[in-house]
Amino acid sequence: MARRQSPPPAGAAAQDYVENIVDIDVTSEMEGSFLEYAYSVIYSRALPDARDGLKPVQRRILYMMSEMGLRPDRGHVKSARVVGEVMGKLHPHGDTAIYDAMVRMAQDFSLRLPLIDGHGNFGSLDDGPAAPRYTEARLAAAALTLTDHLDEDVVDFVPNYDNQLTQPDVLPAAFPNLLVNGATGIAVGMATNMAPHNLVEVISAARHLIANPDATLDDLMRFVPGPDLPTGGRIVGLDGIRDAYATGRGSFKTRAKVEIEQLSARRTGLVVTELPYMVGPEKVIEKIKDAVNAKKLTGISDIVDLTDRKHGLRLVIELKNGFNPNAVLQQLYRYSPMEDSFGINNVTLVDGQPQTLGLVDLLSVYVGHRIDVVRRRTAFRLGKKKDRLHLVEGLLIAIVDIDEVIQIIRSSDEVAAARERLMSIYDLTEIQANYILELRLRQLTKYSRIELEKEQEELRREIAELEAILGSEQRLRELVSAELGEIAEKYGTPRRTVLLESEAVSPTVAAALAAAPGVKGKATPLALEIPDDPCWAILTASGQIARTSNQEPLAESGPRVRHDVFRSVVKTSARGEIAAVTSLGRMLRLQVMDMPVLPPMSGLPNLAGGVPAKDFITLGKGETLVAFAPLDEVLAIGTAQGVVKRVQPDYPLNREDWEIIALKDKDAVVGVAPAGSEDTDLVFLTREAQLLRFSAGTVRAQGRTAGGMAGIKLGAGDHVVFFGAVDPNDDAAVVVTIAGTDGALPGTAPGAAKVTAFAEYPVKGRATAGVRAHRFLKGEDTLLLGWAGHGPAKASSLGGVARSLPQEHGRRDGSGIPLSQAVDAVGPAMAWADPA
């Protein structure tokens, strides 16, 4: 294609104009123009310098803010002012690009060590920043270490775009900014994507490299095991990180930090407190909702964003009942941004040329730059010290004979003559003579001479120190290392990102995977829904509700939560139903799956994993939960006024709660026990220590609306403290009673404990007063606690459980032994219960 010259100007003679057509090759023109453009983008815009880790626009912003005096100890200024200064003096591009770069350097979720202290809305992971006219900024403290000593000839300065001003070609960079804050950029034909790291770890590796220039990658990875992302999270799999450190290219997976929490008595949820790098909560919520609508994700009932400035990120994912939280979490990692990949591509400029560097090369380039900066700074300071010493020495010569110096100056016709006479008489240099001529009279006092002599001595010492540093490569390296150590101590923070060699598996997940059928050597996915495994439903003396993860026998001894024992234990399954009976005679249908699961452990489960009954079911004023019971067995119910009832299991199928006994005024249910067999013995125990044992066969089964029949005959002011069912053929069955003083504060009265074999109590007729079970001593007038059943365990205030119990083999109505002796091994007794 031909390129034509412009037409002749108007009015020009035709013969004065000669047409000149130049033929060029389009391919060559395009190649040359494109290469110029590509190099301009690579060098002047997109890629960071390996020495200070900054792109040109970032470097110009920091330098201009430093020149404007926007230090951390001064007030913020409008961001628009900074953008205008940078654009007008150093960066001949659009204000949007400058402000975007400025915003990123102020975001603590983008940079591991932010370089700009922003005031106002600088954006979030889901939203952009406010306009520059609304935000304010100043340099962060860490940014000062990047621009320090620019006035000491530590780096080269180059002209700006119009050759009217100069700007630093690179910043001194007192810490490895490229590794600490990472970088992203897209050039022509290449791109860079570098992960942030922990400042302390990177500086430790740099100091090791300074001391050991031949250090290997393995040596440096002992200090830098992997990236440290600003938003925390977890990195799963370290092979890709090692590849990146070795070759400059690699990738790794990042995952959100998630905890499984009991959101309420009936709801379990996944709580997200940290997300993968550069992933915002709104994006996660949107992707999860899309996956749920597309039927890719199941088991999620709701997702709520509770993030705020005080508590930070908190994303609550509520789960439906019956779904395995760990299995749902695995689905979330697969179908949402809660798991993300980060590709490392360490492309950076070295001597103006783009190169892909590994960890060793990146640190080597930085260390070399820093050594050169400190060497130039030291040489600059040495020159300044020598110049000052030269002036001080000339001044001391003049002060010794100051009168004659003044006379020489006064008698000279002009400054040049005075300068020549001083130089010839006192053997001064021109610089020294000029300095003397510029002195003020107050600098010629005797005290000033003493100060000058001290300054001369100090200058000579400093010059010797600086010359020693320049003359020894070892001392120069030690100085660089020491300065890096100071930076790490001042600005270092603990690691935020957790590094995992492989996917972390909790004990629950490991057990589930081990039990799941699958091909040997192949990972078996977790079952999404909770299987209908056998388990125990537990109600404790303190009112905690929980279920176990299996139906292994519950141990008779072992660790137990403080002050708590089993009050009611029912054999059931994870997807089964049980009944809960309250003190007002109500029965409630409970879904076992809604109960919190106690973690599997050897021995007795830790009851601290339950939830209070009042948070799980709705109880009226003064109403308490008495016991759990199966829904398919005949139950025996005993009340405080001595009424007994056996109720048939003909419960309504379409209701969640109903009455199972019609109570009289001021009466309440005190005990519930399965009594399907008529051979079972029912037992009442009153506060006056009366015990009635009678056969369940004497109580006919009634409907749920009946009021029951007379159980035990009570004396005036007496009431039932215990009701239960005991197998008459159980040789280990015992009766436990603890006597004390009515109205005394707990622990203030000594009390007495007594355990008697159940077989010593005779069977009596229903509706009789029974027999005496405990003889009160002086100061005792009531039973504080009573219990009958299969050899109970005793729980103490120290949380222990013991099987050995004091036995009274005399008369059944005898007195007990001091309570302190009965439980001296584990502390004062708090409750008695069948350990199931």
What does R_g of the chain's alpha carbons equal in angstroms? 43
Residue 53, judged by CB atoms within 10 A of its CB (0-12, 13-18, 19+), counts as buried
Q: 568 near 579, Cβ under 8 Å?
A: no
Calculate ∠ Cα 474-479-485, nearest 5°. 125
- Can 134 be counted among the known catalytic residues? yes
* 190 phi and psi angles, rounded to 5 deg: -160, 160
* 727 phi and psi angles, rounded to 5 deg: -75, 120
Taking the C-alpha atoms of 435, 436, 442 and 443 in order, what is their torsion angle to the nearest 10 degrees? 70
Taking the C-alpha atoms of 584, 588, 590 and 595 in order, what is their torsion angle to the nearest 10 degrees? -20
Can you tell me the distance from the alpha carbon of 142 to that of 486, in angstroms, rounded to the nearest whole number? 12
Question: CA separation (Å) from 363 to 91, 241, 351, 358, 370?
Answer: 29, 16, 15, 9, 10
Q: Which residues contact 534 (CB under 8 A, 6 or more apart)?
A: 550, 551, 571, 572, 573, 574
Residue carrying the six token digits 């290392």: 481
3 state SS of 817: strand
Q: 174 near 146, Cβ under 8 Å?
A: yes
CA atoms in the 13 A half-sphere facing the CB of 520: 0
CA atoms in the 13 A half-sphere facing the CB of 48: 28
Q: 102 near 139, Cβ under 8 Å?
A: no
Q: Show the tokens assigned to 276.
A: 């993968």
Q: Which residues contact 243 (CB under 8 A, 6 or more apart)?
A: 249, 250
Q: Show the tokens assigned to 625.
A: 């939960």
Q: 751 near 740, Cβ under 8 Å?
A: yes
Give the sign of the dihedral formed by CA 713, CA 719, CA 723, CA 729.
negative
DSSP letter string over 728-767? Answer: TT-TTEEEEEEEE-TTPPTTTS--EEEEEEGGGSPP--TT
Which three-class secondary structure string do you get for 120-162?
Answer: CCCCCCCCCCCCCCCCEEEECHHHHHHHCCHHHCCCCEEECCC
> How close are the terminal C-alpha atoms of the chain, in Å?
98
Total Cβ atoms within 10 A of residue 202:
29
Q: Which of 110, 122, 128 is nearest to 279 (CA)?
A: 110
Q: Which of 269, 286, 240 is nearest to 125 (CA)?
A: 286
Residue carrying the six token digits 């600003």: 230
Number of H helices, E strands in the chain: 20, 43
Q: Show the tokens assigned to 94.
A: 């659009």
CA atoms in the 13 A half-sphere facing the CB of 649: 13
Q: 48 near 54, Cβ under 8 Å?
A: yes
3 state SS of 194: strand
* Active-site residue, selected from the candidate residues 134, 161, 333, 761: 134
Can you tell me the distance from the alpha carbon of 319 to that of 403, in angstroms, rounded to the nearest whole number? 96
Calculate ∠ Cα 35-38-44, nearest 5°. 130
Can you tell me the distance from the alpha carbon of 70 to that of 687, in angstroms, rounded to the nearest whole number? 80
Can you tell me the distance from the alpha carbon of 129 to that of 114, in angstroms, rounded to the nearest whole number? 16
Q: Show the tokens assigned to 295.
A: 């039927």
Catalytic residues: 134
